[in-house]
Amino acid sequence: MKKNRFHSLKFRRQHPINRFIVDFYCHSLSLVIELDGKIHLDPTVKQNDLLREEEITELGLTILRFTNNQLVNEIDLVMKEIWNLMLQLSNEY
């Protein structure tokens, strides 16, 4: 399996969407996955994240967010959540 694919779906890393760069993007599902470090706990950054999310979802995209801590300590749950959302989104198309 290629490293930029997850169950035959292609994900682009550091993909530009409008004026933003998202962490991961799957065009076929209109899915954005964001990984948040500790900086995203800062109130100003949180506010910017909300505005960014609003702008991106207005484009018809779905955003899924995880903390770096979740990625490191709960990878099985993260992968399961991604998988479940991918199934849900693929049924919508």
Q: Which domain holds residue 33?
A: 5-92
Q: Which of 68, 79, 11, 83 is nearest to 35 (CA)?
A: 68
32-83, pLDDT tens digit by residue? Answer: 999 998 888 888 889 999 999 999 999 999 999 999 999 999 999 999 999 8
Q: Give the pTM.
A: 0.84
How many structural domains compose the chain? Answer: 1
Alpha-carbon gap, residue 64 to 67, rounded angstroms: 10
The DSSP-derived string for 28-74 is GGTEEEEEE-GGGGSHHHHHHHHHHHHHHHTTT-EEEEEEHHHHHH-
Domain CATH number, residue 55: 3.40.960.10
